[in-house]
Structure 1
Amino acid sequence: MRTGKDIAVIGSNMVDLISYIRRMPREGETLEALDFHMDCGGKGANQAIAASRLGSRVLMLTRVGNDVFAANTVDNFARNGIDTSHVLTTEASSGVAPIFVDEDSRNSILIIKGANGHLSPDDVRDAEDDIASCRLIVLQLEIPLETVYEAITLGRSHGVPVLLNPAPADPDLQLERIRGCDYIVPNETELAMLTGMPTDTLDDIHRAAAVLRETGIPNVIVTLGEQGALWLSDTGERHLPGIPVTARDTTGAGDAFIGCFSHHLVRTGDVERSLELAIRYSADSVTKRGTQASFATAEEFDSVLQDLTD
């Protein structure tokens, strides 16, 4: 019987610098933004925070820089109940993500990896005992690919299921080296890059997801935004519909989905129900501004679910 954490998140942390704008400036143009907000972010950190707020015991393996952002990032993990024993300091800048959100809630994001680019396979091996005692490993692509591959190998060798969110899309990702994953969760853009196939329509997405499924990954889950999610497995295909909401800020919605899905998957083992809840949790997150600031706690999410059933 495992005695460690529920989830090991191996991935990035960022400082989100969010500007709310009417439109992006043209070349050489200066515009006044509507508002500004700074938040802790990064795909790995976001997913860890979402799962922890819902009640999972989460270990975070990541690297922070040696600048003014680092202490706040570590404190943010600790405030959210995350094990920081494998949050490592690096002689580099912290990761930063300037984000631009327009009046239609569409976002454009730049990523400066900073210390995240120094998270190494050796770091994974150094944390092996603690990672191996977890019930799920969650990965993304804001860290070096060799580190991602090492984590997949570690999970496979210890019988720990691995979930890979192949985001942001990376053309250098080698499909033959991620076949040890139990779950892969791309969006339409990432699915197109993974397969080289169009994903413009739902039929296109079905075909591309089926090709990805043929690589041998047991569960392919494509997030579809307001259209919900598509799940392919040994038992067939299932399209789970989205939840209509009025979006204010879609930043971090995919990470909210992953964090919630991971939490409920570890808790129940029920993939379909975990997907249904992840769709609802993600939909709730886009009704609020910010990234981690938009992620509901377990109590808040219970209230959201109750409102949906009333």
Structure 2
Amino acid sequence: MSKIAVIGSNMVDLITYIDRMPAQGETLEAPGFALGCGGKGANQAVAAAKLGADVLMLSKVGDDMFADNTVANFQRFGIDTRYVQRVPGVSSGVAPIFVRTDSHNSILIVKGANSHLSPADIDAAAADLRECTLIVLQLEINVETVYHAIEFAHRHAIAVLLNPAPALTGLSAEHLAQLDFLIPNESELALITGHVVNSPASAQAAARSLLTSGIRHVIVTLGEHGALYVGEEGEFHVPGVQVVARDTTGAGDAFIGCFIHHWNRDGHIRQAIEQAVAYSACSVMALGTQTSYPDHETFTRFQQQR
């Protein structure tokens, strides 16, 4: 089986379920709380591993009570953790998440040890990274490390995917041009391109503008409306799968984890997007991030029922 390398963040999710956010100076009682493993890199790695992918994780954990649990969580899903390393004297990354009764969420992130993942860590793992067929990146680690990983992948003819989240302005055009896949949501696409993105047509136009930079494939996630593809294989829209959402936290990561598993397995982009749209829809029917991601058997049952 071809191995996927995920180079990115891990977080401890501190999830509070709320009816509404308190006003300044106001204290409210919240109906529920959950603690879980999260972070964009970790979420994408776990989603792919739950579906059967062979995943190598590069990440940093802190010097605290969360670190061992994070590593054990990776290992529970069969993820290779040789390059998940502890940083002395630093906290692990944490993400306080507030989920409203309408399923929408607000998130804060504290990068903690994730800020210590450096270009030198890419070089230290070079021999194992060269054995991978896909490198997956996000922006919850230092952008210099992301750029170094893109350069490494490009130099060694390894496919590379960037999920530009959390969104940043001023991303390097030189490095974007080296990407095989860019997978933003609508707001991230708007920030990267400078275009107004408020409709499927405007999203298509903004995605199309990126192709001139050299990116081979742009996939825009549209939430409940599915996903849009613009790239070497043309342009098409995969509609969303209608479900009753309970918690949309981590749905974008579920999409990417499913996409990378299926694309890395057989190279079919449209089929991988179709699977990813369905997988992310399935994930929002349950609470939490990684805990909401179905394994292969559960996802198969979901699709059969549809």
- TM-score normalised by L of structure 2: 0.98
The correspondence for 1:187, drawn from 185, 188, 210, is: 185
**1:22 aligned partner:** 19
**Shift of residue 173 of structure 1?**
2.0
Question: Retained in 1: the 8 A contact 2:176–2:214?
Answer: no
**2:33 aligned partner:** 36
Q: Does 1:111 align with 2:106?
A: no
What is the rounded CA distance, in whole Å, between the counterparts of 1:304 and 1:253 in structure 2?
16
Structure 1: which 4+ aligned runs deviate by more than 6 Å?
A: none
**1:96 aligned partner:** 94
The correspondence for 1:292, drawn from 290, 293, 302, is: 290
Question: Retained in 1: the 8 A contact 2:66–2:92?
Answer: yes
**1:148 aligned partner:** 146
The correspondence for 1:228, drawn from 218, 226, 229, is: 226
Which amino acid in structure 2 is aligned with residue 127 of structure 1?
A
**Shift of residue 178 of structure 1?**
2.2
**1:85 aligned partner:** 82
What is the rounded CA distance, in whole Å, between the counterparts of 2:118 and 2:266 in structure 1?
32
| Structure 1: segments with no counterpart, 5+ residues | none
Which amino acid in structure 1 is aligned with residue 167 of structure 2?
A
What is the rounded CA distance, in whole Å, between the counterparts of 1:97 and 1:216 in structure 2?
34
**Shift of residue 90 of structure 1?**
0.6
What is the rounded CA distance, in whole Å, between the counterparts of 2:130 and 2:224 in structure 1?
35
What is the rounded CA distance, in whole Å, between the counterparts of 2:142 and 2:46 in structure 1?
21
What is the rounded CA distance, in whole Å, between the counterparts of 2:260 and 2:140 in structure 1?
19
What is the rounded CA distance, in whole Å, between the counterparts of 1:212 and 1:189 in structure 2?
15
User: What secondary structure sits across from 1:151 in the alignment?
Assistant: helix
What is the rounded CA distance, in whole Å, between the counterparts of 2:57 and 2:161 in structure 1?
15
In terms of mean alpha carbon deviation, does 107-116 or 200-209 score higher? 200-209
The correspondence for 2:242, drawn from 244, 250, 262, is: 244
Which amino acid in structure 2 is aligned with residue 43 of structure 1?
K
**Shift of residue 156 of structure 1?**
1.0
| Structure 2: segments with no counterpart, 5+ residues | none
**Shift of residue 140 of structure 1?**
0.3
User: Number of paired residues?
Assistant: 305
**Shift of residue 235 of structure 1?**
2.9
What is the rounded CA distance, in whole Å, between the counterparts of 1:173 and 1:289 in structure 2?
33
**1:62 aligned partner:** 59
User: What secondary structure sits across from 2:288 in the alignment?
Assistant: coil
User: What secondary structure sits across from 2:270 in the alignment?
Assistant: helix
What is the rounded CA distance, in whole Å, between the counterparts of 2:199 and 2:22 in structure 1?
30
The correspondence for 1:137, drawn from 135, 138, 145, is: 135
**Shift of residue 212 of structure 1?**
1.6
**Shift of residue 38 of structure 1?**
0.5
What is the rounded CA distance, in whole Å, between the counterparts of 1:227 and 1:51 in structure 2?
22
**1:255 aligned partner:** 253
What is the rounded CA distance, in whole Å, between the counterparts of 1:192 and 1:295 in structure 2?
28
**Shift of residue 145 of structure 1?**
0.5
The C-alpha deviation readout for 1:52-95, integer Å capped at 9, x for no partner, is: 01001100000000000000000000001000000011121100
**Shift of residue 158 of structure 1?**
1.2
In terms of mean alpha carbon deviation, does 30-39 or 170-179 score higher? 170-179
**Percent of pairs with identical residues:** 57
What is the rounded CA distance, in whole Å, between the counterparts of 1:178 and 1:147 in structure 2?
14
